[in-house]
A and B are shown apart, each in its own frame.
Chain A
Amino acid sequence: MVGEIAGNYSTVVLMFGFAVAAMAPTLLISRMISPRKKSNPVKFLPMECGQVPSGEGRTHFMMQYYPYILMFVIFDVVAIFLYAWGSSLLELPKNATLPMMGFLGIIFGAMSFALYQSGRRRIW
C-alpha cells in the first residue's frame, strides 16, 4: 500500500532522469564540436570585469538579512502544517476551526514579533 503510493511518484523521478539523460549529451556534444583554443594566463581567471581578481572567490561574506533564513526554517514547516487542516476542512466539524484560529494567531503573533525585532534592533 505504501509502496503503491510511493510508486505514483516514480514518474516524477523518471521525468527528472529523462531530463538529465537528454540534456547531458548536449554538454558532451558541445564539448566535442566546440573549438578549444590554447590556454593563456588570463583565460581561466574568474570574471571580475577585466581586473585581475584579488583574493579568494569563496570568501567569508557578510550575509545580511540572515534572520529571514532562520524565520523561513520555522514558518515553512508551520505553513505546510496548515495544509493538513486546509485539505480536510470540508470534512471537519465546525468547532475544529477554533483551535486552528488559535494556531493561526500564534503564527501571526510570532511572525510579527520577529519582524518587529528585526526592525528595532540593527544587529541583523
Chain B
Amino acid sequence: MSVIAPNFKLSGFIKAIINDAVWFLLIFSLIGFPLVMMVLFVIPMPVIDGELLTPFLAFTYLADPSRTLPIVQAFMTTDMFKIMAFPGFGFAALLAAGTIFLERKLLAKLQLRVGPFYCGKVEGILQLLGDGLKLISKEIIIPAKADKPIFWAAPVLFVASAAAFVALIPVAPGWVVADVDMGLLAVFAVIGFFPIVTILSAWSANSKFPFIGGIRALFQMVSFEIPLILSLLGVVMVTGTLNLSEIAASQSSFPWILFLPVGAIVFFITMLAELERIPFDLPEAESEIVAGWLTELSGMMYGLVQLGTYLKLYAFAALFVVLFLGGWNGPMVVPPFPMEIATEGIEIGPITAKIAGLPLFDQEMLNGIFWFVLKTVAVIIFILLPRGVFPRVRVDILLNLGWTKLIGLAFVNIFIALALVYAGVLGPGGLQ
C-alpha cells in the first residue's frame, strides 16, 4: 500500500484520539476503578513496616515514589508475580522473542544474507513488533468443515502447555514458579501434552497437509520421548532427587556434563527432535508438505503457535542448563549492593534521600540470573546453529535413529552413572 490513508485529516485524527480517551476514562472510572478497589479489598494484603497495608495506604504509597519499593518487594514474593513476570511467562516470552530475532539474524549471517534490516533503523531491531502487528491485523481464515472449537483452542493450548513447562524451570535459588518434588516427572508429563495438541490441531483442520504433518509430529515426539526419558535417568541417579532446584544446586562444584557427556549428547539430539527443528523438522517440512501441521493456521493463530514453539525452545534449553550445565551456579560477578545507601540514604548536594526497601534484589539472585541466562542463550544458539548447516533427515532414518542408536546410548549413560556411583566417584562419600 503506497498511501497510508488517502483521506487523512489532522483534525479528524485528533478528534478520534480525544473521543477514544474520553471513552477510556469513562469506562475506567465506572468499571475499572471500582473493580480495582474490590479486588484490593478481597486479596490478602502484605504487612509493610509493621502495619497492615490497607487499600487506602497502598494508594498513598503509590503516590509517594520513595515509599513504593516495599510494595514492589511485597508483590515480588507473590505467586502472581512469579507466574506473570519473572521466572514465569513474561521472562520466558521476552527470551523467546529475543530468540526469534537472534535466529533470523544468525541464520542470515550463516547464509551470507543481511536479515531483518529496515524496521527500527538499527539492524531491524523492531522487526518482531512489526511482525506482531502484521499477524494481529490479518484475517483469520478457518477452512470449511473444520472442527471450529478445537481449531480455535489448539494454538492457545499449545502456548499454555509451553507455559506450564516454563513454570517448572528454576531460574535462580528460590526463583521458580512451581517448586515440586517430582519436578522432572512433571516435565515429562507436560511434554506429553504437545503431541496431543498437535494432533488435535491437525485433525480439526480438515485438510490433508496438516493431517500428514500432525501424524509425523506424533511419531517424532513419541519415538523420541523414550530416549529423552532414559537419557536423564543418569542425572537422577547421581543426585538422588527429582526436584529440579535440588539438581541445579547439587552442581555447585562441577556440572554433570563432565561426568555424563553421553547423556547430554543424547538429550540434546532428542531435544532437537522434540522441538521439530532441523535436521528433524519433518512435521513442518516446507518443501514436502507446505508447512506441515501449521498449513491452515493463519494470522494470529500462527503467531501464537510460533510463540509457543519458542517458549518451548527456551524451556528445553533451560532444562538442559539446569540438568547438565549447572543451572544458576557460577563465579560471583555481580558487585555487592552498597549498604550505606540503604542505611544512611543517598546524599545529593544538600538533600539526603532515604529510600525504604533497598536493596530490591539480592546479590545471589542477580548472579544466578546472569549465569542462567548466559548459559541458556549459549544452548539456544547451539540449538539454532544446525538450521543453517544440516539437511532434513528421512522419516525412517529418524525413527531408526531414535529407537536403536539413541536408546542404546541412553542405556550406556545409565551404566556410566551406575559405575560412577558404585566406584565412589559421585554420591555419598564421593566428590562435592
- What A residues does B212 contact at CB under 8 A? 61
Chain B residues within 8 Å of A87, by CB: 236-237, 240-242
Q: Per DSSP, are chain B's interface residues mostly helix, strand or loop, or mixed?
A: helix
Give the one of B136, B208, B230 with max A CB within 10 A.
B208
Question: Complex Cα distance A46/B166, Å?
Answer: 34
Residues of A close to B215: CB separation below 8 A: 61, 63
Interface residues of B in 177-235 (CB under 8 A from A): 177-181, 184-186, 188, 190, 203, 205-209, 211-212, 215, 218-219, 222-223, 225-226, 229-230, 233
**Considering the complex, which residues of chain A in the window 5-57 have a beta carbon less than 8 Å from any beta carbon of chain B?**
5, 8-9, 11-20, 22-24, 26-27, 29-31, 33-37, 43-49, 53, 56-57
Which residues of A have CB within 8 Å of B303?
26
Partner of A27, one of B137, B141, B143, B304: B304
Whether B236 contacts A83 by the Cβ 8 Å rule is yes
Q: Which B residues lie within 8 Å of A57 (CB)?
A: 143, 145, 205-208, 211
Q: Which of B62-114 contact A (CB under 8 A)?
A: 79, 82-84, 88-89
A14-B79, A26-B300 in contact; A36/B139 too (CB < 8 A)?
Answer: yes
A58-B211 in contact (CB<8A) = yes
B185 near A46 with CB under 8 A, answer: no
Closest residue of chain B to A78 (Cβ to Cβ) is B226
Contact in complex: B403, A94 (CB < 8 Å): no
Instruction: Give Cα A71–Cα B83 distance, bound, in whole angstroms.
Output: 37
* A44–B206 CA distance with the chains assembled, in angstroms: 11
Determine whether the beta carbon of A23 is less than 8 Å from that of B159: yes
Within 8 A of A (CB), among B308-363: none
A68: CB under 8 A from chain B? Answer: yes
What is the CB-to-nearest-CB distance from A67 to chain B, in angstroms, rounded to a whole number? Answer: 10
A1 within 8 A of B: no
Compute how far the CA of A32 lies from the CA of B297 in the bound complex, rounded to whole angstroms.
Answer: 17
User: Which of A26, A43, A76 interacts with B136 by CB under 8 Å?
Assistant: A26
Beyond A80-B188, A83-B185, whether A14 also contacts B83 by CB under 8 A is yes
B203 in contact with A22 (CB, 8 Å): no
> Is A65 a contact of B399 with CB atoms below 8 Å?
yes
Check B156 against A23 for contact (C-beta < 8 Å): yes
Closest-by-CB residue of B relative to A89 is B237
Q: How many angstroms from the CA of A115 to the CA of B221 in the assembled complex?
A: 18
Q: Does the CB pair A46–B206 fall under 8 Å?
A: yes
Tell me which residues across on chain B come within 8 A of A8, comparing CB atoms: 178-181
Q: Does A72 contact B (CB under 8 A)?
A: yes
A34 touches B181 (CB 8 A): no
In the complex, the answer to whether A46 meets B223 with C-beta atoms within 8 Å is no
A123 at the interface (CB under 8 A from B): no
A16 touching B203 by the CB < 8 A rule?
no
Stretch at the interface among B10-18, B25-33, B367-375, B414-422: B414-422
Asked whether, in the complex, the Cβ of B396 is within 8 Å of the Cβ of A65, the reply is yes
In A52-99, the 8 Å CB interface with B consists of: 53, 56-59, 61, 63, 65, 68-69, 71-72, 75-76, 79-80, 82-83, 86-91, 94, 97
Which listed residue, A11, A22, A44, touches B178 by the CB 8 Å rule?
A11
Contacts of B290 in A (CB 8 A): 47, 49
The answer to whether A46 and B144 have CB atoms under 8 Å apart is yes
Q: How far is the CA of A69 from the CA of B195 in the complex (A)?
A: 12
Q: Which of B369-408 contact A (CB under 8 A)?
A: 395-396, 399, 403-404, 407
Whether the Cβ atoms of B142 and A44 lie closer than 8 Å is yes
**Chain A residues with CB under 8 A of B208:** 46, 48, 53, 57, 59
**In the complex, chain A residues whose CB is within 8 Å of the CB of B403:** 68, 71, 111, 115
Chain A residues within 8 Å of B414, by CB: 82, 86, 104
Indicate if the CB atoms of A20 and B160 lie closer than 8 Å.
Answer: yes
Neighbour of A34 across the interface among B140, B152, B222, CB < 8 A = B140
**Contacts A45-B143, A76-B225; is A18 near B205 (CB within 8 Å)?**
no
List 18 interface pairs A-B (beta carbons < 8 Å), by A numbering. Answer: A9-B178, A12-B180, A12-B190, A14-B83, A15-B177, A18-B89, A19-B162, A23-B307, A26-B136, A34-B139, A47-B290, A75-B226, A82-B230, A86-B414, A89-B237, A104-B411, A104-B414, A111-B407
Report B's interface with A, CB cutoff 8 A: 79, 82-84, 88-89, 135-145, 152, 155-157, 159-164, 166-168, 177-181, 184-186, 188, 190, 203, 205-209, 211-212, 215, 218-219, 222-223, 225-226, 229-230, 233, 236-237, 240-242, 290, 295-296, 299-301, 303-304, 307, 395-396, 399, 403-404, 407, 411, 414, 418, 421-422, 427-428
Chain A residues engaging chain B, CB cutoff 8 angstroms: 5, 8-9, 11-20, 22-24, 26-27, 29-31, 33-37, 43-49, 53, 56-59, 61, 63, 65, 68-69, 71-72, 75-76, 79-80, 82-83, 86-91, 94, 97, 104, 108, 111, 115
15 additional contacts, CB 8 Å, given A27-B304, A83-B185? A8-B178, A8-B180, A12-B190, A18-B89, A30-B135, A34-B136, A44-B143, A46-B207, A57-B211, A58-B206, A69-B219, A72-B223, A86-B236, A89-B418, A97-B418
When A and B form their complex, which 3 residue pairs have the shortest distance between CB atoms, in order from nearest?
Answer: A46-B207, A19-B163, A57-B206
